[in-house]
């Protein structure tokens, strides 16, 4: 039977990752604005949140193979399908690239042993040893470059991908009224729509 909505696991992961993304971005911005102990607290929380997003995204991708996404509405124009698939693909890529560049950034930091990636007091996430083992000068330059890349990729998700994704969802719900959003928010499903 063809699915009319995402699996429950995919829906839970979608909203969990979305919530964690907002929190992680907020902590990243706070880290940039604050000073001293408050800055350290923000970065120390930002790190395990980002790693958690990476792990949940990997789980989400694995589940997508087991429970394929429901088909896109047949009424959608080819360019809409193409754009939607591109944005979804970029989302998955960026949700992995961001934590990976963050992980690499802190691995190349001289302070990583002092401020490890503490996974909510449970254990310390490992350091990428090849980066930590670089000669001090090169490690510093690498750290700076990776941090710049991390910040740029974060801007892509905050200012491009998320607005495109949210605007598309709102357009379908309120202008096209095609009930596409109900695939991810089941209680929005109209009674007259096919089950
Ligand atoms: C999906 C996951 C992640 C998102 C959305 C994210 C987002 C951000 C954002 C928005 C900033 C601020 C950039 C700026 O103001 O230019 C930032 C900075 C930073 N992020 Fe991430 N990040 C993620 C994962 C990680 C991970 C896993 C780590 C490390 C383990 C990490 C380490 C850092 C560091 C060290 C900074 C610089 C903080 C400072 O100003 O000192 N990030 N991140």
Residue 47 maps to a domain = yes
Residue 41 confidence (pLDDT): 98
- CB under 6 Å to ligand 1: residues? 21, 24-25, 28-29, 31-32, 43, 46-47, 50-51, 53, 95, 98-99, 102-103, 105-106, 117, 147, 150-151, 154
Residue 186 confidence (pLDDT): 80
Domain count, the chain: 1
Residue 1 confidence (pLDDT): 52
Q: Are 101 and 153 in contact (CB under 8 A)?
A: yes
Residue 176 confidence (pLDDT): 86
Residue 1 maps to a domain = no
Residue 2 maps to a domain = no
Q: What is the extent of the structural domain holding 173? A: 8-188
Residue 194 maps to a domain = no
Residue 188 confidence (pLDDT): 81
Residue 33 maps to a domain = yes
Digit-by-digit pLDDT tens for the chain (195 residues) are: 567 789 999 999 999 999 999 999 999 999 999 999 999 999 999 999 999 999 999 999 999 999 888 888 788 889 988 998 999 999 999 999 999 999 999 999 999 999 999 999 999 999 999 999 999 999 999 999 999 999 999 999 999 999 999 999 998 888 988 888 888 988 887 554 443
* DSSP codes of every residue in 36-87: HHHHHHHHHHHHHHHHHHHHHHHHHHHHHHHSPPPPPPTTS-HHHHHHHHHH
Q: Are 132 and 90 in contact (CB under 8 A)?
A: no
Segment (H or E) for 118? strand 117-118
């Amino acid at each position: 039977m063809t699915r009319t909505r995402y699996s429950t696991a995919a829906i839970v992961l979608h909203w969990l990752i979305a919530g964690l993304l907002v929190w992680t971005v907020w902590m990243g911005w706070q880290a940039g604005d604050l000073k001293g102990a408050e800055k350290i607290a923000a970065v120390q929380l930002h790190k395990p949140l980002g790693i958690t997003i990476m792990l949940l995204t990997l789980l989400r991708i694995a589940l997508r193979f087991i429970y394929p996404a429901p088909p896109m509405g047949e009424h959608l124009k080819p360019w809409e399908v193409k754009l939607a698939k591109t944005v979804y693909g970029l989302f998955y890529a960026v949700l992995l690239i961001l934590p990976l560049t963050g992980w690499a950034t802190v691995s190349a930091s001289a302070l990583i042993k002092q401020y490890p990636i503490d996974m909510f007091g449970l254990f310390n996430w490992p350091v990428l040893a090849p980066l930590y083992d670089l000669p001090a000068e090169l490690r510093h330059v690498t750290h700076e470059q990776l941090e710049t890349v991390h910040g740029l990729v974060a801007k892509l998700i905050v200012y491009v991908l998320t607005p495109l994704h949210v605007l598309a969802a709102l357009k379908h719900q309120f202008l096209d009224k095609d009930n596409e959003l109900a695939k991810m928010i089941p209680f929005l499903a109209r009674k007259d729509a096919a089950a």
